[in-house]
C-alpha cells in the first residue's frame, strides 16, 4: 500500500526510483560480494573456484528480496540475511569464503556509493540539458531590453536574455561540482569491522583497490567501520544546491507570471484547469511544485550533518534516516529537473508585455542614464542626483512623462540638448555588455555540456 507520494508514483522518474528499489539494493550488494570474491582470489586469498562460484550465484538473480526478507524476519539483520540467502544458493565449497573479511557496512556503504554513482549518471545529463536550454534562451533574447528589478522595484534596463544566462552558467558550474565531488563521495570500502582490514591483513588495501576498480568507485583511504558521513553530507548538500538554483528559476518565473507583470507564463495544455473555482486562472503550479520540493530537499541537509559525529568506530544512529535521505534526495532532484526542463522548453515569453513594462514608470527607468549624461557634462554627481530626484518625484505626482519633465527643467536641460535627451530614452542603447556576457556564457555552457550532448 503506497503511503508517500514517491511510492504512489506522483514524483520521480522510473529510472531514478529503480536505483533505490529493494531488489536493486540487493543486486548492488551482491555485486560487491562478487567483486570482493574475485579480487581476493586474484591475489590468492581465497580459492579461485570458490570465488567463481560466488560470482556466478551473485550475478544469477537467484537471490531475491522475498527470500532475504524471510531470513531477516528471523535474524533481524538485513545484511546477514542477504549473506545467508547467497550461501543457500552457493555450492558447499564456496560457502566458507562468502563475505570473507567483510562487514555489513562494507556492503551498505559501498552499495550506497553504487546508488549515488548511478543517480549521478541520471542527474548530470539532465543538468547539462537544462543548462543548454537556458543558454539557447539567453541567446534568443539577448537583444531584448526589459525591466531590471531590485527590491521588487524597477531599477534599470536589463537584457531579457540575462534572466536565462545567469542560471545557465550556474547549471554548468553544478556539472563541475558534481564531477569534482565524485572522487570524495563515490567510495568503495571493504576494510572490515573497524576499518583495519584485519582478516585480510596486509593485502586488504589491494583487495579494496581491485573491488573499487571493478565497481567504478574510488577506494577509501581510511575509515572506521563506516565511510565518513561527511561524504554523504556533501552529496546531499550538492543535490540541495542544484535544487536551490532550480527554485531560484521557479521563483523568477512565478513572479514574472504575476498578472501585474505578465512577461512569461508556464505552458498550459489543453484541458488543464488552473483553479477549481476560477475558470480563467493559469496558475504557475509547476514552478510552485519546484519551490515546494526544494524546501523538502534542503531539509535533508540537517540530518546528514547530524550523522557525522558517530560513537567511536560507529553506531546505528545514522542508519535508519539514511534509508530515507539518500533515495529522497536523489528522487526529488530528478523530479525537479524534469519539471523545470518541461517548463523552460515550452515557456511562453510575452515580448509585447516586456516592452510595455518598460513604460510603466513613464520613463523614470532611464534616470540612471540621465545621471550619467549630466556627470559627463561636468555636473557634480550629488547635484545632478538631487535635480533628477526632484524632477522625477514631481513628475510622478503630476502623472507626467519623465522625458518631458527632464526637457522642461532648466537645471537639466541647460546641460543636455533635446536630441541628447531623446537618445537617452532608447532602451536598446542601455544593454551595456549584455551581448558579450551572454555570448561568453553560451560558449562556457556549450563546452561544459559537450560530452553529455554527444551521449
Mean pLDDT of the chain: 95
| Average pLDDT, integer, range 405-417 | 94
Give mean pLDDT, residues 73-101: 97
Cα gap 316→325, rounded to integer Å: 15
Rounded to whole angstroms, the Cα distance separating 321 from 89 reads: 32
β-pairing, 264-265 vs 348-349, is: antiparallel
% of the chain exceeding 70 in pLDDT: 97
In this predicted structure, the answer to whether residue 278 has a pLDDT above a threshold of 60 is no
What lies within 8 Å, CB to CB, of 432 at 6+ separation is: none
Nearest to 206 by CA among 94, 41, 34, 47: 41
148: which DSSP letter? E
Query: What residues are labeled active site?
Result: 151, 275
Q: Cell numbers at residue 429, please?
A: 542603447
Helix (H, G, I), strand (E, B) or coil at 154: strand
Query: What is the per-residue pLDDT across 314-345, written as a single tens digit (0 to 9) for each?
Result: 999 999 999 999 999 999 999 999 999 999 99
455 has a pLDDT exceeding 50:
no
Minimum mean pLDDT among 228-232, 270-274, 314-318: which range? 270-274
Share of the chain above pLDDT 90, in %: 93
Is residue 84 within 8 Å of 33, Cβ to Cβ? Answer: no
Whether residue 107 is predicted with pLDDT greater than 50 in this model: the reply is yes
- Residue whose C-alpha is closest to residue 359's, from 389, 397, 403, 390: 403
C-alpha cell at 373: 549624461
Question: Would you list the domain boundaries of the chain?
Answer: 14-97, 104-357, 364-424
pLDDT computed for residue 2 by the predictor: 83
How far apart CA 163 and CA 72 sit, in angstroms, is 53
Phi and psi at 410, nearest 5°, equal: -60, -35
| pLDDT > 50? residue 445 | yes
**pLDDT interval class at 143 (50, 70, 90):** very high
pLDDT of 270 above 80: no
Task: Return the residue matching grid coordinates 503630476.
Answer: 398
pTM: 0.93
Class of domain 104-357: mainly alpha
- For residue 28, the surrounding DSSP H or E stretch is helix 22-42
- Residue scoring higher pLDDT (343 or 271): 343
The dihedral of CA 292, 294, 296, 302: what is its sign? Answer: negative
Predicted confidence band of residue 94 (pLDDT cuts 50, 70, 90): very high
> What does each C-alpha distance from 386 to 353, 392, 414 come to in angstroms?
32, 10, 16
Dihedral over Cα of 379, 380, 383, 387: its sign:
positive
Residue 174: pLDDT over 50: yes
Phi, psi of 147 (to 5 degrees): -75, 130
- Residue 279 is predicted with a pLDDT of 63
CATH fold of the domain at 14-97: Fumarase C; Chain B, domain 1 (1.10.275)
H helices present in 143-194, as ranges: 162-185
pLDDT in tens, 189-207: 999 999 999 999 999 999 9
Question: Counting runs of H as helices and runs of E as strands, what totals does the chain give?
Answer: 18, 6
- Does pLDDT of 405 surpass 50? yes
Tens-place pLDDT, residues 235-246: 999 999 999 999
pLDDT band at 214 (very low <50, low <70, confident <90, very high): very high
For residues 88-102, average pLDDT: 97
Q: pLDDT tens digits for 119-128?
A: 999 999 999 9
Half-sphere exposure of 409 (CA within 13 A, CB side): 24
Express each pLDDT in 20-49 by its tens digit. Answer: 999 999 999 999 999 999 999 999 999 999
Q: Which of 287, 294, 175 is nearest to 244 (CA)?
A: 294
Amino acid at each position: 500500500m503506497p503511503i508517500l507520494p514517491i511510492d504512489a508514483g506522483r514524483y520521480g522518474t522510473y529510472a531514478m526510483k529503480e536505483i533505490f528499489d529493494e531488489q536493486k539494493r540487493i543486486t548492488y550488494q551482491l555485486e560487491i560480494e562478487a567483486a570482493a570474491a574475485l579480487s581476493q582470489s586474484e591475489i590468492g586469498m581465497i580459492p579461485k573456484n570458490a570465488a567463481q562460484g560466488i560470482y556466478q550465484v551473485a550475478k544469477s538473480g537467484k537471490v531475491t528480496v522475498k527470500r532475504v526478507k524471510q531470513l531477516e524476519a528471523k535474524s533481524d539483520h538485513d545484511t546477514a540475511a542477504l549473506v545467508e540467502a547467497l550461501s543457500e544458493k552457493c555450492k558447499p565449497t564456496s560457502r566458507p569464503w562468502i563475505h570473507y573479511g567483510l562487514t555489513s557496512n562494507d556492503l551498505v556503504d559501498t552499495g550506497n556509493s553504487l546508488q549515488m554513482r548511478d543517480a549521478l549518471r541520471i542527474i548530470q545529463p539532465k543538468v547539462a540539458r537544462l543548462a543548454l536550454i537556458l543558454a539557447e534562451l539567453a541567446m534568443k533574447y539577448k537583444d531584448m531590453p526589459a525591466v531590471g528589478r531590485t527590491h521588487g522595484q524597477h531599477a534599470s534596463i536589463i537584457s531579457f536574455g540575462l534572466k536565462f544566462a545567469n542560471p545557465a552558467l550556474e547549471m554548468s558550474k553544478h556539472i563541475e561540482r558534481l564531477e569534482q565531488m565524485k572522487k570524495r563521495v563515490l567510495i568503495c570500502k571493504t576494510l572490515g569491522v573497524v576499518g583495519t582490514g584485519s582478516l585480510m591483513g596486509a593485502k586488504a588495501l589491494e583487495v579494496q583497490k581491485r573491488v573499487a576498480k571493478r565497481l567504478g568507485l574510488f577506494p577509501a583511504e581510511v575509515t572506521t567501520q563506516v565511510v565518513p558521513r561527511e561524504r554523504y553530507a556533501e552529496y546531499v548538500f550538492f543535490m540541495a544546491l542544484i535544487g536551490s538554483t532550480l527554485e531560484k528559476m521557479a521563483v523568477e518565473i512565478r513572479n514574472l507570471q504575476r498578472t501585474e507583470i505578465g512577461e512569461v507564463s508556464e505552458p498550459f495544455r489543453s484541458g488543464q484547469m488552473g483553479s477549481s473555482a476560477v475558470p480563467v486562472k493559469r496558475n504557475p503550479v509547476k514552478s510552485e511544485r519546484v519551490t515546494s520540493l526544494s524546501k523538502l530537499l534542503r531539509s535533508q541537509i540537517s540530518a546528514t550533518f547530524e550523522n557525522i559525529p558517530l560513537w567511536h568506530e560507529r553506531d546505528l544512529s545514522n542508519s535508519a534516516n539514511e534509508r530515507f535521505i539518500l533515495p529522497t534526495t536523489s528522487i526529488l532532484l530528478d523530479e525537479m529537473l524534469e519539471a523545470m526542463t518541461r517548463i523552460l522548453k515550452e515557456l511562453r515569453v510575452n515580448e509585447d508585455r516586456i516592452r510595455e513594462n518598460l513604460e510603466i514608470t513613464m520613463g523614470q527607468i532611464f534616470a540612471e542614464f540621465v545621471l550619467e549624461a549630466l556627470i559627463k557634462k561636468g555636473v557634480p554627481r550629488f547635484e545632478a542626483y538631487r535635480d533628477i530626484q526632484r524632477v522625477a518625484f514631481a513628475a510622478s505626482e503630476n502623472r507626467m512623462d519623465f522625458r518631458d519633465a527632464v526637457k522642461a527643467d532648466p537645471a537639466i536641460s541647460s546641460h543636455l540638448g533635446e536630441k541628447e535627451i531623446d537618445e537617452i530614452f532608447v532602451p536598446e542603447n542601455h544593454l551595456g555588455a549584455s551581448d558579450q556576457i551572454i555570448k561568453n556564457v553560451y560558449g562556457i555552457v556549450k563546452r561544459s555540456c559537450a560530452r553529455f550532448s554527444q551521449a
